[in-house]
Amino acid sequence: MRVLKILALGAALGIAAAAAVADDPEASKLYEDGRKLYLDGSYYRAGKTFSDAEEKAQSNAIKANSLLAQIGAWRMCELYYREFKAIEKLLTLYPEYADFGPLVDREFEIGELYAQGKRDPAFWALRFIPWLTEEDHTEEIFKRALERAPFASFGAKAHLRLAYIYDRNGKVRDSIAQLREIVRDYPNSDQHRLAMLALAEGLLELSRRGDGDGSYIREAADVLARFKERYPDAEEKDWARRSLLEAKDIQAKRLYDMAEFYRRSGRQEAAERYLARIVSEFPESKSAAESEQKLVDLDNSYLPGDFLPDPEMRLPKIKSYTLPVEARHIMISPGVGDNHFLTPVYDLKRDASTEAPEPAPTPESSEEKK
C-alpha cells in the first residue's frame, strides 16, 4: 500500500521543475492539464493527456515525469497492463528517474492480479462488459519482472505461476525449468515444497513418454528422495513414497531390458551385471524377483539373498472410519413398497426402548460436583 500511495502522489504532484522547462512549452502545458484532470478525478483522461505530454516532450525530465504520472493514472483506472507498460518504459529508457525497488515490486503485484483473472477492458467505453477484455499478459509480466529482479521476495511465487502457465499450455519442459529454479534458488520459500512435488510429477510424466538416457527418471527419484528427507511429516508423504517406488520401477525396468538384450546376444556376463544391479540397487522394484530368478538360471553359483520387500507397501494408505450410529431406527425407507411412502417410517417402539446416551459433562456441572 505504501508503494501505491507514493506512485499516486507522484502522479498527482509530479515535479514542478519539469513543467517549467522553457524549450518544452507544449509538453509542459499538456502535463499541467493532465495534473488538473487527475486532481479532478478524471483519471482516464489524465492518463491520455500524460501520454500525449510524453510524446510531445523533448526533455527527459518531462518524459519521465509524464510516465510516472501515467503509472498513477492507469492504476486509478485499474488499467493494470497499461500501468505495467508505463513502468517498463520508465525503467528501460529513464532509469535515473525511477525508484527501481518499488516499481519492480509493483510489476510483481500486477502479475499476481493477472494470475487471479484480472484483465484490462478492450474498450474503455465498454468496460462494463465483463467478457470484452484484452488478452492474458500474465506470462509477459512475470517474465519481465523476474528478469529485472530474479531474487525478489515475489520470485518463487512468480516462477510457480509461470510453471503453471507453461504446463497448462502443454510446455512441460519450460514448466520443469521454472520448477528447477524454485528448488535450486528458493529453498526456504513457501513454494519450495509444492515445486518439489510438481517437479517430481513432471519428470515422471516425461520419463513415461520416453527417457533415452534415463536422466529424467534419475532426477525424479533424486527429487522425491530429497522431498522425503526435507518434509518427513508432509501430507503428501504417502504420494511421494509411492512415486519414488514407481521411479525405481522404471529405473529397474530399463536395466532389465538391457540385461535381456545382452542375454539374447550371448553376452552372459554383461547380462548378469545388469541383473545384479537390479537386485542390489532396486530390491523393492517389480523387476527384482524376476531378475533374481534370471540370475539363478544364468549362474548356478548365485545364491539368492533375503526376502524381497512386501509389495503391499505400494498401496496407498487409506484411513478407515466407522459408520455413525443411527439416531433413530428406520423401518421403511422412501421408495420401498411401490413408492407408497414418501418419508421414512421410524420404529417408535424400538426407539423408546433404546436408552439414550448420557450427555457429556459440561464445565459447569463438573465444577458443581467438585
Q: Phi first, then psi: what are they for 331, rounded to 5°?
A: -90, -45
Q: Across residues 185-204, what is the average pLDDT?
A: 94
pLDDT greater than 90 at residue 194: yes
Q: Which of 13-27, 183-197, 200-214, 316-330 has the lowest mean pLDDT?
A: 13-27
CATH topology for 2-120+136-148? 1.25.40
Q: Do domains 2-120+136-148 and 172-314 have the same CATH topology?
A: yes
- For the chain, the structural domain boundaries read 2-120+136-148, 172-314
Q: Across residues 279-283, what is the average pLDDT?
A: 86
Q: Across residues 131-155, what is the average pLDDT?
A: 93
Q: Which of 19-33, 147-161, 300-314 has the lowest mean pLDDT?
A: 300-314
Cell triple for 305? 539373498
Q: pLDDT digits over 318-330, tens only?
A: 777 777 766 677 7
Distance, CA of 16 to CA of 65 (rounded, Å): 10
Of the options 3.30.70.2190, 1.10.10.10, 1.10.240.10, 1.25.40.10, the CATH number for the domain spanning 172-314: 1.25.40.10
Q: Which of 7-21, 39-53, 194-208 has the lowest mean pLDDT?
A: 7-21
Q: Which long-range contacts (CB under 8 A, 24 or more apart) does 24-33 make?
A: 24/56, 24/57, 24/58, 24/59, 24/62, 26/56, 27/53, 27/54, 27/56, 27/57, 27/58, 27/59, 27/62, 27/66, 28/53, 28/62, 30/56, 31/57, 31/62, 31/65, 31/66, 31/69
DSSP, res 163: H
- pLDDT value of residue 279: 87
- pLDDT value of residue 351: 60
The mean pLDDT value of the chain amounts to 84
pLDDT greater than 60 at residue 38: yes
Percent of the chain past pLDDT 70, that is, above it, reads 82
pLDDT greater than 90 at residue 105: yes
What pTM, to 2 d.p., does this model score?
0.71
| 18 pLDDT tier (thresholds 50, 70, 90) | very low
Distance, CA of 244 to CA of 230 (rounded, Å): 15
Cα→Cα distances 107→6, 40, 145, 150, 177, Å:
15, 27, 6, 13, 22
Q: Which of 305, 253, 298, 301 is nearest to 271 (CA)?
A: 298
- pLDDT value of residue 118: 94
Amino acid at 227: F
Burial letters 205-233, b for 16+ CB under 10 A, else e: ebbeeebeeeebbbbbbebbeebbeebee
| 183 pLDDT tier (thresholds 50, 70, 90) | very high
pLDDT greater than 50 at residue 2: no
